[in-house]
Amino acid sequence: MADVTSDQAVDAARSLGKDRFTRAEIAEQLGVKVSDLKQAIKDARQSGRLDWVGENDEGKGVFRLTG
């Protein structure tokens, strides 16, 4: 299991260059499993850097960067 920080998750999300993205897209950018991102995404949301905006057609959570 990789130790992914919230900073790494936010930086990876930023580097995607998209308004909205899924955990899977961040995981692919970082080369880790989606399950390795759980705490990092939670921390980023709690610190106000990521916001959950809903689900896509596949039922996957969709996020956006804040600020």
Tens of each residue's pLDDT in the chain, 67 residues: 578 999 999 999 999 999 999 999 999 999 999 999 999 999 999 999 999 999 999 999 999 999 7
Instruction: Output the pTM of the full model.
Output: 0.90
**Going by DSSP bridges, is the β-strand pair 50-55/61-65 parallel, antiparallel, or unpaired?**
antiparallel
CB 2 within 8 A of CB 36: yes
Each domain of the chain, given as residue ranges in start order, spans 6-65
Beta strands in the chain (DSSP E): 20-22, 50-55, 61-65
The whole-number pLDDT of residue 17 equals 95
Query: What topology does CATH give the domain 6-65?
Result: Arc Repressor Mutant, subunit A (1.10.10)
Is the sign of the CA dihedral 58, 28, 20, 5 positive or negative? Answer: positive
Supply the pLDDT for residue 1: 54
The alpha carbon torsion through 21, 61, 11, 33 (nearest 10 deg) reads -110
